[in-house]
A and B are shown apart, each in its own frame.
Chain A
C-alpha cells in the first residue's frame, strides 16, 4: 500500500520535471533571451571589476584579481539562486497565467510532490544555466582558481539547496494569497534578498537592521562559504559550520513553507481564488 502510494507520487514527481523540460524546450527563444541577459549581467560585473584599475588599482594586482573573483562568484551564484528562486516562486503565477492551475490542484497527488517536482526541475535547469555562464567566465576572464577547494564549495552549494527551496516555496504563497499583487510582491522579496545577502559586498557594510536581516538570510552563508572555498581554499572541515547552519535553516524552512502553503491553499479555496482569473 505504502509502496504503491510512493510509486504514484514518484510518477507525478517525474511528471512535473518532464513538464518543465517540455516547457523550457517549447519556450526556447525566451529561455535563450534570459540566458543572454544573465550572461551579460555577470559579464558586466566582471568588467566592472576589471575597470577598478582605473580607480587606482594596478592591473594584475592581487587585490584586484581577488576583487574580480569575489564579484564574479557573487554574480554567478546570484544568477543561479535568483533563477531557482524565481522558478519556484512563480510556479503558481505561471499556472494561473497558462490556465492550468485548477487542473494541477485537482490532481490526486500530495502538494509536497507538486512543490518538490517544481523545485527539482528548477534546480536542474538552474545548475545547467549557471554552468554555461560559468564556462563563459572561465573563457573570458583570467580567473585564478589555484587556491580553490571545489569539494568544500560543492558541499556548501548542496546544503544551500534546502533553505533556497524553503524561501522559494514561501514566496510562491504570495500569488496564492493575492492573484493581482502576489507576483510583484515576489519580485520585491527577491530584491530584498539581493540587498541583504551580501551578493556584491560583505554584509558588515550594511546598517544595523539590514545587517541583522543579512545574518538571517541563508543566501549570506551560501555566498560567504562558496567564496571562501573558491578564493581561499576553505577546507571541507572549515565549511562544516556553514553547511550546518544551512541544513538547519533548510530543515526549518522547508516544512514550514509547505505547511504555510497548505494554509494558503485552504484560504484560496475558501475565497475562490484558485482559478485562472483569481
Chain B
C-alpha cells in the first residue's frame, strides 16, 4: 500500500522509551502458587529510536540482545510494557490495523505452509494484502526470476526448496505487498555465501528502486557496514550507540581506527562470537 503524503511527514519509526519484560507473574499464575515461578527477563530497557523514511537502518546486536523483540513490537505481534512506538505516525498498539497496512516482515525462519508451493503461499499473502487478482502470477514469476530462482520451483512444495531459496521466496513475498516499511529479522542467517550475497544485493536494490524503509536486524557486522545508512548497537535490551557505520567506527573503534567489529567490541565489551558461544553453552 502506498504511503500517503501526510505519512511521509512522519518518521518511518519513532520509538519512545519502550520496555518489555518476559516471564512476569501474571494474574493466572498468582492463582497457582504451586507452579514454579519463571525468572523474569528484561528484553528491552527504555529503548528510544528514530528511523528516517527511505533509509536502511541496521539493528546490531548479539542473540538475546532484544533485536527480535523490537521488530515484533513494530510488527504489532507484541505489546510493550511501557513507552510508545509509532510507524509512520500510527501507534503500534492503538492503531495496529493502520500500522499493518504499511509493513511486512522477513524473519530468520521463513514462515510458510511447507506443503504448499511458493505460488500458493504467495497467492495467500497477496490475498491478505488486498491483491491476488489477474496478473499476480506474472508479477510473482518476474520477482522470482529477478531473485535468481528457477521458475520450475514455483509449483513445488516449499519443503523441497533449499533454505536459501525459501528465504528468497520470503523476500519476494514481502515485495509483493509493496510495504513502506520492511522489517528484516536476520534474513541472511544460515545462508550459504552465494545466497547471502544475493539477498544482500536485493536489499541494496530496495533502496535504489523503491521508496521503502528497511529495518534490518543482523549480527553480521560486515553486512551492516555494507548495507546500512545508519546502525543502532543494542545489547541487553539497551541502545548503546547509533549513527552511520563510519561515525561509529570513528568514535568507538579506537584511536587507530578499525572496523565496525572493533567498535562493537568496545561498546559491548565482547565479541559477537562470545555471545554465540555463551548461548550454545
Contact = CB atoms under 8 A, between A and B. Distances in A.
Interface of A: 7-8, 11-12, 14-16, 18-19, 22-23, 26-27, 98-110, 266, 269-272, 274-276
Interface stretch (B7-15, B70-78, B231-239): B70-78
A274 B103 CA distance: 18
A106 B109 contact: no
Given A23-B116, A98-B114, A106 B75 contact: yes
A121 to B, nearest CB: 12
Q: Is the interface of A mostly helix, strand, loop or mixed?
A: helix
A272 B66 CA distance: 13
B77 A274 contact: yes
Contacts of A23: 113, 115-116
B188 to A, nearest CB: 19
Contacts of B130: 7-8, 11-12, 108
A271 B26 contact: yes
B112 A106 contact: no
A102 B77 contact: yes
Interface stretch (B118-126, B195-203, B267-275): B118-126
Interface in B47-79: 69, 72, 75-79
Interface string B20-57: 00100010000000000000000000000000000000
Contacts of A14: 127, 132
A22 B124 CA distance: 10
Nearest to A177: B28
B47 to A, nearest CB: 16
Q: Is the interface of B mostly helix, strand, loop or mixed?
A: loop
Contacts of A102: 72, 75, 77, 105, 107, 111
B24 to A, nearest CB: 8
Contact of B111 (A7, A11, A15, A100): A100
7 contacts: A7-B130, A15-B132, A19-B113, A22-B113, A100-B113, A109-B128, A271-B26
B120 A19 contact: yes
Contact of A15 (B26, B97, B104, B128): B128
Contacts of A7: 130
B120 A100 contact: no
A11 B132 contact: yes
Nearest to A28: B115
B100 A106 contact: yes
B170 to A, nearest CB: 9
A11 B75 contact: no
A274 B129 CA distance: 20
B125 to A, nearest CB: 7
Nearest to B22: A272
Nearest to B131: A11
Contact of A11 (B22, B105, B127): B127
B125 A103 contact: yes
Nearest to B104: A106
A219 to B, nearest CB: 29
User: Which of B76, B77, B105, B126: most chain A Cβ within 10 A?
Assistant: B77
Nearest to B125: A103
A22 B127 contact: no
Contacts of B123: 15, 18
Contact of B79 (A19, A26, A269, A275): A269
A232 B123 CA distance: 48
A15 B127 contact: yes
B157 interface: yes
Contacts of B77: 102, 105-106, 269, 274-275
Given A99-B112, A106-B105, A274-B77, 19 more contacts: A11-B127, A11-B130, A14-B132, A15-B123, A22-B120, A26-B115, A26-B157, A100-B113, A102-B107, A106-B100, A106-B103, A107-B100, A108-B101, A108-B128, A108-B130, A269-B79, A270-B79, A271-B26, A274-B78
A39 B72 CA distance: 44
Contacts of B126: 15
Contacts of B116: 19, 22-23, 26
B128 A12 contact: yes
